Amino acid sequence: MPPARRYGEFKGPLAVAPIFLEHNRRIAALIAVICLALLVFCLIERQVRQALGPAQTMRGLYPDNRAVRPTGRMILYHLSTLALRPGTSTRPPAILINRGVQAHLLELLGIDETRPRWLDS
């Protein structure tokens, strides 16, 4: 991925608003948090593209169902409506999926919607 695009992502989809900070420590901490968010954003995109194989395209990201390379922005857009059903004494918590593309993205990311990862610890 060209560095210029990542700088655009740094300023764009993370929705960073202007903040006035007085101390250099706080400025450095804020930049570190933003860089970590960008790293997670890039790793999600990379994981999905690698799991797709050599073609690196998938359908269902756009309404016209054309095959495109998934971007971090589109992946997070489709996963943003996921919900977690809380567990009870008789059933474990589960991720509620309302679209097929969400199930496909979770599969590509290696996430089992019937067993959230924090239950393994």
Residue 75's φ and ψ, nearest 5 degrees, are -60, -50
**Residues spanned by the domain of 91:** 3-120
Cα Rg, the chain, nearest whole Å? 17
Type of residue numbered 22: E
Specify the number of domains making up the chain.
1
Two structure tokens written together for 72:
């971090």
Task: List the beta bridge partners of residue 95.
Answer: 84
Q: What is the pLDDT of residue 52?
A: 92
Two structure tokens written together for 86:
């809380």
**Cβ atoms of residues 81 and 98 within 8 Å:** yes
d(CA 66, CA 59): 6
**Cβ atoms of residues 38 and 10 within 8 Å:** yes
Digit-by-digit pLDDT tens for the chain (121 residues) are: 555 566 566 556 555 566 777 888 988 888 898 889 888 988 999 999 999 988 888 888 888 888 899 988 899 999 988 888 888 888 888 888 888 898 899 889 988 776 665 555 4
Q: What is the pLDDT of residue 5?
A: 62
